[in-house]
Structure 1
Amino acid sequence: MRSISTKPLPLNTFKNLSETRNPFCVSIYLPMFKKGKEQNQEMGPATLKSQIHRLEKTLGEYGMKDPEIKEYLKPLHSLVENRELWRNPGDGLAIFLEKESGLQYYLLPFSFEPVSYVSNHFYMLPLYPMYHQNGEYFILGLSRDYVRLYKADRYGLRDLNLETHAPEQLEEVVGYDYQQKTLQFRSGQAGYAQGSFHGHGEGKDDEKIELIKFFKEIDKGVRKLLGESNAPLIVAGVSRWHSLYKEVNSYPNLYKEALWGDPEFKDVGTLQQEAWELVAPYFKATLDAKIRAYRENVHRSNTSHQIADILRAVKDGRVDTLFIQKGTDEFGTYSEKGCIILDSEKTKKNISIYNRMARDTFLKGGKVYILDKGHMPYSKRPINALFRY
């Protein structure tokens, strides 16, 4: 039995789950009910119990005998009784069960509508927003006595330990008599955050020279750590420090907007949340561009909203971007020759067509977006595709 904390699934884990093939693969998605009242009423375990009852019926219809069903679903019943799990919930819970690897479950940072699915593969459709409605970026926290570099995305961040490649404090670069010989530093949180100085002699000119020297050393460390990356780099610090750092920066994608305020006095959760709100439009621009490209080519051969056309393009690796309306699916069967038969519901003999198309698009390097109806490029149909050619 394996679990992962409230972070998105690593890409390798996602791919391994996507490629699993075994009879009676079970996929379950649940909300976890984080509020106190919901937890007191044990709504999370109750929702899982409800899905288990559905699975018992489904597995029976698929040919599994009652004693075998009981034994097979034991790990799920154990999960219901796992009080530690429900006391420390994520926003959502994804559960995967199959005979060879047993039970795997993942606490994730977004919620799901309750759903269960049984087939010879896992159901991955609810998970695509983790990858294509997200984005990787960096945060450089700058303060006189505090320098940090974080790798972040929509759901969290981690410290890259910049101190192993760059100074952590201004005095490490300019000398520990800097404060006494060039300026008076006014302490206290507000003054500290602004780096408020009363100059003597050259005053502000001295300050700028020393800060530039400091920032050049930081820039060297940043470049060593980030290598060939081109993800946005957000500077978090007071306004004057951002403008000075911009003068010496050599990283190719320094984000145009900065995160104001002294990062030393922010917890990392607040820092990550504020940074994501700042950078989210950058990543949304990619989606907007794909939607615009679809609409500009809606009557041409490189777009389609017909499921049979899209399925053939997926098979050939021609889908650049797949758009699926949230809460929709199609079940059916199809042949290698492209013949598709749609059914009104999931049965033992059919599969989720959208799940298969999303999986193959994703594994072949395409993007998959799960969108509300009003945001679909062509909202009259629940699936749209932009082709590479």
Structure 2
Amino acid sequence: MNYQIVKEFPHPMMEKGKRPVISIYVDTHIKKPDRLENPIRFKNLVKEAQASLKEKEFKGFKDLFSLFKEMEEDALFWEGATESMAILGDEDECIVYKLPVNVKSLAIVSDSFYIKPLLRSFQSNGHYHVLGLNRDNFVLFEADRYGITEIPVDASDATMEGVLGTEKTAPHLSVASIGGDQSMYHGHGGAKDERKVDQEKFFRHVDTFVLEQYSKKQKIPLILVSPDEHQGEFRKLSKNNFLIDEGIKIDGDSLDKKSLYVKVQDVMQERFKKELKDRMAAFSEAHAKDLGSDDVIQIGRAIVEGKVASLYLEENTVHPGRFDPQLGTVMQGEIADPRVGDVYDDMAEVVLRRGGEVLILGKDEMPTERELAAVYRY
């Protein structure tokens, strides 16, 4: 058995329905000498998982635990440590997420993977395009929580010269005769107007190119990075619905890639905060119309009926027990039982499978005083 480092969430392995499964989260150190503790932490968490398995189940996980031992002793595996890791495995498969946020170290053996920490990591600063635009050229990036990468674009599409070539607007001249054979040439509009026409042609090309080749295919937000004077001009003609209102008014050429990434991350963070405020207001309105709830029993029933559009869960909270995805009932449990599971996590998985969304929020971000809330589709 081998492990696979993945970025996709949810991952197909989570849909297999094998049980039990093992979820291990390691809050890792990045710098030496503390980084040397990471494999030790992992080893101790593996022991916790082993202790949670029933004797008859242990044999089926023999290959996985052998793999865990190899991972523990693999210096290269720990060399590229991020803020934390999520390691999920069943009897025949193992995936690893390297996360850019801190999580609480834990090991859980249950009938489904524990995914709340992953949800928290993936919900903000997700996946987006960044368009760096100047008057006569552009550069395109793809970014996510892991970093930013330039997308290679041929000069024939990325520069005004490549796009317009010999089709650049020629000066408009008229001829007036001054007696005899002498003539005077009058320019209409001049070089300034010609540049404006060419710039508009180029901007329209950029908009169409990015929309057709990237935005329509990946359906992710697009952040515009360009000087202030180009922001309005480009937005006025753009037909790209994925272009977000928040832009960065600066010449992208003045930034190195690291500085650019910091700025676009700030934009996405602010966008996420604004969305949270809007969601709070939407929940209050929905709750008043019986189209939302913060009662765990009512929400459980609504989930199995396919009514839940959005589920909000408070971070670092656990409701010991199990959620029945067929009946929508909640079975209480004792938190001391390592196999009891988390009702909230079970609910989150079902909502995602049914096409809803799940957000993990801080206590002060929740739209209600309770640990969960939901907005219904109808």
Q: 1:113 aligns with which of 104, 111, 115?
A: 104
CA distance in 2, matches of 1:211, 1:63: 71
**Aligned to 2:90, which of 87, 92, 98?**
98
Secondary structure of the 1:128 match is helix
User: Is 2:367 the counterpart of 1:367?
Assistant: no
| Structure 1 letter corresponding to 2:202 | F
Contact 2:304 2:327 in 1 (8 A): no
Residue 189 (structure 1) aligns with = none
CA distance in 1 between partners of 2:33 and 2:123 (Å): 33
What residue number does 2:211 align with?
A: 223
8 Å Cα contact 2:211/2:240 also seen in 1: yes
C-alpha distance in 2 between matches for 1:332 and 1:132: 25
Contact 1:156 1:272 in 2 (8 A): yes
Q: CA deviation at 1:378?
A: 1.3
Structure 1 residue 251, shift from structure 2 partner: 2.4
Paired with 1:228 and 1:285, the residues of 2 have a C-alpha distance of: 26
- How does the TM-score come out when normalised to structure 1? 0.79
Residue 216 (structure 2) pairs with residue 236 (structure 1) = no
| 3-state SS of paired residue (2:113) | coil
Alignment of 1:320-359 (within 5 A): 320-333=309-322, 336-345=326-335, 347=337, 350-359=340-349
Alignment of 1:9-88 (within 5 A): 9-11=7-9, 14-39=10-35, 42-59=36-53, 62-64=54-56, 72-88=64-80
Between the two proteins, what is the percent identity of the paired residues? Answer: 25
1:187 aligns with none
Structure 2 match to 1:305: 294
Q: CA deviation at 1:28?
A: 0.4
Q: CA–CA distance in 2 between the matches of 1:228 and 1:83?
A: 38
Distance verdict in 2 for CA 1:257–1:50, change over 3 Å: same
Displacement after TM superposition at 1:157 (Å): 4.0
2:305 corresponds to 1:291: no
**Contact 1:17–1:122 at 8 Å: present in 2 too?**
no
Give, in angstroms, the shift of residue 162 of structure 1: 4.0
Does residue 272 (structure 1) correspond to residue 261 (structure 2)? The answer is yes
Name stretches of at least 5 consecutive residues in structure 1 with no aligned partner. Answer: 182-200
**Could you list the per-position Cα deviations for residues 331-371 of structure 1 after superposition, in whole angstroms to 9, with x for gaps in the alignment?**
22455545433112264764321111000111112111111
2:130 is aligned to 139
Distance 1:301 1:168, change over 3 A: closer
Separation in structure 2 between the aligned mates of residue 115 and residue 18 of structure 1, nearest angstrom: 18
What TM-score, normalized to structure 2?
Answer: 0.81
Deviations 1:282-324 (A, max 9, x none): 3444333222122234455322222221111111111121111
Instruction: Compute the displacement of 1:94 (Å).
Output: 0.9
Cα root mean square deviation, aligned: 3.2
Report the more deviating stretch, 293-302 or 318-327.
293-302
Task: Give the Cα–Cα distance (whole angstroms) in 2 for the partners of residues 162 and 71 of structure 1.
Answer: 45
AA in 1 matched with 2:240: Y
Q: What residue in structure 1 maps to residue 159 of structure 2?
A: 169
SS in structure 1 at match of 2:67: helix
- Mapped to 2, the partners of 1:122 and 1:261 lie a distance apart of 44
Q: How many Å separate the matches in 1 of 2:351 and 2:327?
A: 18
Structure 1 position 175, deviation (Å) = 5.1
For the Cα contact (< 8 Å) 1:162–1:221, is it kept in 2?
A: no
The code of the aligned residue for 2:352 comes to: F
Q: What is the distance in 2 between the residues matched to 1:293 and 1:267?
A: 39
Confirm or deny: 8 A CA contact 2:22 2:109 kept in the other structure. Answer: yes
Structure 2: how far apart are the matches of 1:233 and 1:69? Answer: 44
In structure 2, give the amino acid aligned to 1:150.
Answer: F
Structure 2 Cα separation of the partners of residues 212 and 248 of structure 1 = 8
1:208 aligns with 2:208: no
Structure 1 counterpart SS, 2:154: helix
2:109 touches 2:339 (CA, 8 Å); kept in 1? no
Q: How far is the alpha carbon of 1:152 from its aligned partner? A: 3.4
| Deviation of the 1:126 alpha carbon | 1.5
In 1, are the aligned partners of 2:330 and 2:343 still within 8 Å (CA)?
A: no
2:366 counterpart letter in structure 1: M
In the alignment, the residues of structure 1 paired with residue 11 and residue 113 of structure 2 have an alpha-carbon distance, to the nearest angstrom, of 11
Is residue 61–residue 90 contact of structure 2 (8 Å, CA) maintained in 1? no
Provide Cα deviations, 1:36-55, integer angstroms capped at 9, x if missing partner.
3422xx12112112212212
Distance 2:248 2:351 in 1: 36
Post-superposition offset of 1:146: 4.5
Task: Identify if the C-alpha distance between structure 1 residues 133 and 258 changes in structure 2 by more than 3 Å, giving closer, same or farther.
Answer: closer
Q: Using the alignment, how far apart are the partners of 1:150 and 1:72 within structure 2?
A: 38
C-alpha distance in 2 between matches for 1:125 and 1:145: 45
User: Partners in 1 of 2:131 and 2:98 — Cα distance?
Assistant: 28
Structure 1 residues 149-188: aligned runs within 5 Å: 149-163=140-154, 167-173=157-163
Shift of 1:128: 1.3
Question: For residues 214 and 69 of structure 1, do their structure 2 counterparts lie closer, same or farther at Cα, with a shift above 3 Å needed?
Answer: closer
8 Å contact 1:19–1:121 — kept in the other structure? no
Contact 2:323–2:347, Cα closer than 8 Å, also in 1:
no
* Closer, same or farther: CA 328–206 of 1 in aligned 2, 3 Å: same
